[in-house]
A and B are shown apart, each in its own frame.
Chain A
Amino acid sequence: MKVVRDTWLVYSRAMKLNLKQPVWLIVMLVQPIYFLFLFAPLLEPMDGMPGFENGAMETFVPGLIIMMALFGSAFVGFGLIAELRQGVIERMRVTPISRVALMLGRTFATVSTTLFQSLALVLLAALTGKLDIYWAGVGLMLLIVMLTAFMLAALSLGLAIILKSEDAMGPVINTLVQPIMLISGIMLPMIMAPAWLQNVADFNPFYYAVQASRDLFAGNLGTDYVWQAPVILGALTILLVWWATRKFARAVA
C-alpha cells in the first residue's frame, strides 16, 4: 500500500538522521537518569505508604518513563520547524507522497526513539536492584508509552506547522506540558493531592497513562486504568493525527 510504503520512507529517513547523531538519544536520557539517582532515593521511605503500595521505586520508575516520553516527543516539532525553513517539507509536498505518510513517518520515528530510551531506563532501574520488575507488565506498559509518544509527537508536529518559529514553539510547549506533567502524578502519586486537584487530574489523559503504567509495571493487569488509558489515549491519538495530517497537507512553508 502506498501509505505504508511512503510512511516507511519518511520513517527510515528520520531514523537515519537520528542514528547519524546518536548523542541525542543519550542526551535525552540524562534528565531521567538524574531523577532516577538524585530524586528517587528521597521516595524510598514512602515504600508501602498510600500511593506507594506497589513499592516506592516500582511507583516512581513507570512515571519517570512517561515523563521521558512526554518531553521526548513534545519537542519533535522543533526539528520540523528547521526542516520547514530549509524547504525540505515543501520539496516533499510537491512529490506524490501521501500526506499522511509525511506526518506518520516522523511520528513513528519518535515512538521508536522513545521506546529505545524507555527500555534503557528500565534496564538501568533494574540494575539498581531496588525494585522488582514484572517483565510481562513492562511489555504492556511500553504500549502505553508508545501511545503517549505517538499522540504528543502528532500534537507537536501540528503545532510546529502552525507556529513556524522556535521562539513561539518553546513557550507554547512548556505552557502545555508543565501542568499536564504536574497533575499526572509523575513525581508524587495524586492520592496525596487535595480533592480538587484530584478532580482536575481526572481530566488529564496523562494521569491515566501514568496510573496504567504503574499498574502494569507492578503486574496488576486487571485495574480500570489498564483499559481506560489505552482507550483515552487511543481516541486522542486518532484525533490529533487527523488534525496534524490536515495541517501537513495545507502547510504553507
Chain B
Amino acid sequence: MLIETKGLKKVFKSRGKEVEAVRGVDLAVKEGEVFGLLGPNGAGKTTTMRMLSTLIEPTEGEATVCGHDLARDAAGVRRDIGYVGQAGGTWGEVTAREELVMQGRLYGMSKKRAQARAADVLESFQLSEYADRNVKTYSGGQKRRLDIALGIMHEPKLLFLDEPTTGLDPQSRAHMWDEVRALRDRGTAIFLTTHYLDEADALCDRLAIIDHGEIVAEGTPLALKKEVAGDVVAVGVTDRAAEARDLFDAKDFVREVEAGEPDPATGVAVLRLYVDDGAAALPELLRTLDGASISPASIELHRPSLDDVFLKQTGRSLREEK
C-alpha cells in the first residue's frame, strides 16, 4: 500500500468556532493505481490531500505515505511524493526550464543532473518548444502540463493532483487525462481529487466518494455503480408522486425508489427506480402506472452513473451542486 490512513481528522479553528473539515477518513491507495477522491466543493477533498502531502498536520488519526509515517517522518514522505496544487505553483517571470532545474535541485539533484532531467521532462510533456520562454506567455493547457512536469521532476512513487482539470478547456482536459494515464503506465501512482463525475469514472482505477468530511463509498467505478443497481429508471410524474412511489416500492424487482422534489417550473417530480434489469422492468412499471391511471410525464432508462452512487449515499445529486 502506498497510502494507508486510519481515522484521519482535521478540525479548523476560526474565530473561536471549530469546523470539522475531515471527520475520520480511512483510505488505502495501492501501488501504480489512479485513485480518485470524488466529492462536492467543501467536502474535505483538498484538506485530506493537504494532510497526506505534509502541508497541514492532521488533528487526529494516523497515516503512512510511501512507507513513511506522516507524523514522524514528514521529510521521508516529501522525498517520495510529488504534489500539484490547484494554483499550480509557477511564477510568471521564470522560464519552464529554470523552474524545472530549480525543482530538481530542491530534491537534491546536482545542477547537471537537474538540467538533463529537465530536458527529458520538457520533451515528454511537449514543452521543449516553449522551455525558455517566461511562464506568463503560456496557455492554460501548457501551464498545467508544466505544473505536472514540476510534480514528477524527481520521479516520485506517488503524485498528488488537486483538481487537475478544473478550468481547462475540453481539449486540454482530454490531454491531461492522457498524461495521467501515461504516468500511471510508467508506474507512478496517482492520487487525485475531482468534482467531475466523468473524470472520476473515466480516469480512476479506484475511487472514494467523500461528503461532509466522511468517506461514503469506496471501490472501482464499476463496482460502485453495480452496487447501486444494474439500471436506473427515472420516471417523471406531474401529480400523485407519493402514490406512484408507494406502488413502485411494493414491487419485488425494484430495489429502491428515490423520490426527487417537484420541479418548480414544470411540476414534474422524478422518481428514480433502481432495478437489476431495466428493459425487463419497464413494461411492468408502465402497467403499474396505467393500472393506477397515473400518466408519466417522462421515462428514461439509463445505466447508473457515479452521480447515482452519490445520490444514493447522500440523498443529494453531485450534479445539482454545480
Question: Which residues in A have some Cβ–Cβ distance to B below 8 Å?
Answer: 6, 9, 13, 16-17, 20-21, 83, 85-88, 90-97, 252-253
Contacts and interface: CB of A to CB of B under 8 A. Distances in A.
A83 B93 CA distance: 11
A88 B91 contact: yes
Contact of B94 (A17, A90, A93): A17
A87 B85 contact: yes
Contacts, number: 68
B107 A90 contact: no
A174 B47 CA distance: 35
B102 A9 contact: yes
Interface string B257-298: 000000000000000000000000000000000000000000
A87 B86 contact: yes
A13 B89 contact: no
A111 to B, nearest CB: 21
Contacts of A90: 55, 85, 87, 89
B188 interface: no
B54 interface: yes
Given A93-B55, A95-B78, A252-B55, A86 B105 contact: no
Nearest to A21: B93
Contact of A91 (B79, B89, B105): B89
Q: Among the interface residues B53, B79, B87, which one has the most CB atoms of the partner chain A within 10 A?
A: B87
Nearest to B84: A91
B106 interface: yes
Contact of B98 (A16, A83, A87, A93): A16
A88 B102 CA distance: 12
Interface of B: 53-56, 75, 78-79, 81-83, 85-94, 98, 102-103, 105-108, 150
B227 to A, nearest CB: 35
A96 B87 contact: no
Given A87-B86, A88-B90, A9 B106 contact: yes
Given A6-B106, A87-B85, A94 B93 contact: no
B78 A17 contact: no
A191 B93 CA distance: 47
Contacts of B85: 87, 90-91, 253
A212 to B, nearest CB: 37
Nearest to B154: A95
Given A9-B105, A87-B85, A87-B86, A94 B55 contact: yes
B106 A97 contact: yes
A131 to B, nearest CB: 38
A96 B91 contact: no
Nearest to A251: B55
Contacts of B78: 94-96
A237 to B, nearest CB: 26
A172 B207 CA distance: 46
A95 B106 contact: yes
Contacts of B86: 87
A17 B105 CA distance: 17
26 contacts: A9-B106, A13-B94, A16-B94, A21-B93, A86-B88, A86-B89, A86-B91, A86-B92, A87-B85, A91-B90, A91-B103, A91-B150, A93-B55, A94-B53, A94-B54, A94-B55, A94-B82, A95-B106, A96-B75, A96-B78, A96-B79, A96-B108, A97-B106, A252-B55, A253-B85, A253-B87
Contacts of A20: 93
A76 B290 CA distance: 75
Q: Among the interface residues A13, A21, A87, which one has the most CB atoms of the partner chain B within 10 A?
A: A87
Instruction: List the 5 shortest-distance A-B pairs measured between CB atoms, nearest first.
Output: A87-B87, A91-B89, A87-B89, A94-B83, A95-B106
B81 A86 contact: no
A83 B91 contact: yes
A86 B136 CA distance: 12
Contacts of B108: 96
B90 A86 contact: yes
A54 B113 CA distance: 56
A198 to B, nearest CB: 42
Contacts of A16: 94, 98
B93 A96 contact: no
A252 B55 CA distance: 7
Contacts of B91: 17, 83, 86, 88
A94 B83 CA distance: 7
Given A88-B91, A90-B89, A91-B89, A96 B55 contact: no
Contacts of B90: 86-88, 91
A16 B106 CA distance: 16
Q: Among the interface residues A13, A88, A92, A96, which one has the most CB atoms of the partner chain B within 10 A?
A: A96
Given A86-B90, A87-B90, 10 more contacts: A13-B94, A87-B85, A87-B88, A87-B89, A88-B89, A90-B55, A91-B150, A94-B83, A95-B106, A96-B106
Nearest to A2: B108
A92 to B, nearest CB: 7
Contact of A86 (B75, B87, B102, B107): B87
Contacts of B107: 95-96
A86 B89 CA distance: 5
B93 A17 contact: yes
Contact of B102 (A13, A85, A87): A13
